[in-house]
């Protein structure tokens, strides 16, 4: 295999400027990865663009994740519960279930419609007595309302940004969730 030489007419600063102006989050990540290589980083470092020091090991999360996950639940009555966590796993799901359970009115019961992600279906879940999980068929994201909600938030409020610090990402996710919860969808 022959290494491809880097172009001389671009530099790391120019690539970062282009990434900030990009409307495509995938393109922005690729530009930032290239900027890292121009700065002398390795291809392995470039492959991890978007991760933070708080990120879990790469194998522990889906390929599309960037080290932060917004877990949310919206009820038919407009109640909203959201958690922002650096990972998706059984512990995160148990924390989410506990938050939802605490918000369910006494004597009421919640039915959560979820996909069949491993952390949604594991026998290690601490499922509260006032919650039932209704699993969706596998590989059917179009049936999951929440997938459309996350896509809306991503497309309108969370994409095409370059962050210096992890806390900036958390703050933007909180802002997006609060906008959604309050009904300010513009």
In terms of domains, do 98 and 165 share one? Answer: yes
In terms of domains, do 22 and 80 share one? Answer: no
pTM of the model: 0.54
- Give me the CATH number covering residue 123: 3.30.420.10
CA torsion 136-75-147-47 (nearest 10°) is -110
Whether residue 64 contacts residue 50, with contact meaning beta carbons closer than 8 Å, is answered with no
Does the residue 100 lie in any domain?
A: yes
pLDDT tens digit sequence for 69-83: 666 655 556 566 777
Q: What is the mean pLDDT of residues 9-31?
A: 78
H/E/C letters for each residue in 9-26? CCCHHHHHHHHHHCCCHH
Strand partners, 48: none
95: number of Cβ within 10 Å: 14
Given a cut of 60, whether residue 36 has pLDDT beyond it is yes
Count how many domains the chain has. 2
Whether residue 56 contacts residue 38, with contact meaning beta carbons closer than 8 Å, is answered with no
Given a cut of 90, whether residue 105 has pLDDT beyond it is no
Does the residue 137 lie in any domain?
A: yes
Range of the domain at 21: 12-49
Sheet strands (E) in the chain: 69-74, 80-85, 110-114, 131-135
Does the residue 37 lie in any domain?
A: yes
Strand partners, 80: 74
Residue 186 pLDDT grade (very low, low, confident, very high; cuts 50, 70, 90): low
Does the residue 149 lie in any domain?
A: yes
pLDDT confidence of residue 162: 79
In terms of domains, do 110 and 156 share one? Answer: yes
Average pLDDT value over all residues in the chain:
75
Helix (H) or strand (E) holding 82: strand 80-85
């Amino acid at each position: 295999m022959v290494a491809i030489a880097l172009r001389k007419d671009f530099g790391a600063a120019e690539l970062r400027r282009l990434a900030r102006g990009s409307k495509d989050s995938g393109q922005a990540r690729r530009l930032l990865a290239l900027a890292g290589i121009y700065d002398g980083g390795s291809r392995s470092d470039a492959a991890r663009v978007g991760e933070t020091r708080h990120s879990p090991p790469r194998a522990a999360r889906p390929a599309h994740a960037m080290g932060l996950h917004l877990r949310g639940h919206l009820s038919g009555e407009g109640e909203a519960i959201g958690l922002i966590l650096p990972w998706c796993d059984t512990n995160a799901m148990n924390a989410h279930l506990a938050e939802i359970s605490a918000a369910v009115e006494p004597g009421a019961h919640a039915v959560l419609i979820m996909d069949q992600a491993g952390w949604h279906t594991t026998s290690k879940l601490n499922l509260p007595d006032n919650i039932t999980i209704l699993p969706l068929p596998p590989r059917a994201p179009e049936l999951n309302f929440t997938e459309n909600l996350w896509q809306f938030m991503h497309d309108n409020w969370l994409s095409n940004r370059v962050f210096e610090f992890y806390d900036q990402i958390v703050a933007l996710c909180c802002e997006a969730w609060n906008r959604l919860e309050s009904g300010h969808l513009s």
